[in-house]
Amino acid sequence: MPRYAFLIEYNGAPFAGWQRQKEHPSVQGAVEDALRKLEADHPGLAAAGRTDAGVHATGQVAHVDLQRGWDPFRLSEALNHHLRPLPVAILACAEVNPEFHARFSAVERRYLFRLIARRAPVTHDRNLVWQVAQHLALEPMREAAKHLIGKHDFTTFRASECQAASPVKTLDEISIEEHPIPRGSEFRFHLRARSFLHNQVRSIVGTLERVGAGSWPPERVKTALEAQDRAECGPVCPPHGLYLSAVRYPQDPFS
């Protein structure tokens, strides 16, 4: 059975997350339904990460084993045809070796979080960013983020229902950019690690927002991390500003 990898982009607003569900629409379910139009019997998709309800992706990766051989370009075109009008797109498709696994072969995942700070309501980016009304200070957030870089016990920034075997993760990067917009600013948080805990990114960004707003001093983030106590975390920000932006492998399957 040939194995195919897909690079997938989606708007998560109409979905209950990536993972297939019986009673609610999911991104996985949408792509698998499209695949069934081409092959009625297939084992299903495996993805690099299971994004939550409302979370978007510009670089999700998944793979599937199919019965017949396909030209990758024709396969992606056929899937995009059957996915319309859903906000899901196959950006690239490649035949990969049987040892490739979208989840277990990944060596790095990257997330982007978009936050807009201004009083006037967001129009064009509604449901694509988190909006706060107050001004945020960039440098205190950058200073606070430094305390989270490296290998730590991230219990404080982990959802209570997280199923990961260990709360210890290595966070390789948190970078924050500020971009001017009319009457406000857009802040873009870039986080990079081999893997993340459930709600880790949203917990970190929500906590850093408190620092930018002046409610927390930067040093309090270090104290919260060392407490290894979920109660010490700042507010968990909403999902609609979060994007799975890239997944890296030892060899890029789409190069």
Instruction: Give 163-208 pLDDT, tens digit per residue.
Output: 888 999 999 999 999 999 999 999 999 999 999 999 999 999 999 9
Place of tokens 């993760």: 169
Q: What is the mean pLDDT of residues 38-50?
A: 91
In this prediction the pTM is 0.96
- CATH 3.30.110.30, applies to 3-104: no
- pLDDT per position as a tens digit, 128-159: 999 999 999 999 999 999 999 999 999 999 99
Comma-separated ranges of CATH 3.30.70.660 domains in the chain: 108-246
* Cβ pair 57, 8 in contact under 8 A: yes
Beta-carbon neighbour count of residue 22 at 10 Å? 6
The fold of 108-246 is: Alpha-Beta Plaits (3.30.70)
Look at strands 130-132 and 108-117 and give their pairing: parallel
Q: What are the tokens at 232?
A: 């010490």
Phi, psi of 136 (to 5 degrees): -120, 140
Strand segments, DSSP code E, in 157-218 are 168-181, 184-193
Give dist(CA 67, CA 38) in Å, integer.
10
Comma-separated ranges of CATH 3.30.70.580 domains in the chain: 3-104
- Which residues are annotated as catalytic? 52
Percent of the chain scoring above 90 in pLDDT: 93
- Interhelix angle 138-145/219-227, rounded to 10 degrees, is 30
In this predicted structure, which of 32-41, 140-149, 204-213 has the lowest mean pLDDT? 32-41
Give dist(CA 98, CA 24) in Å, integer.
31
Give dist(CA 101, CA 97) in Å, integer.
9
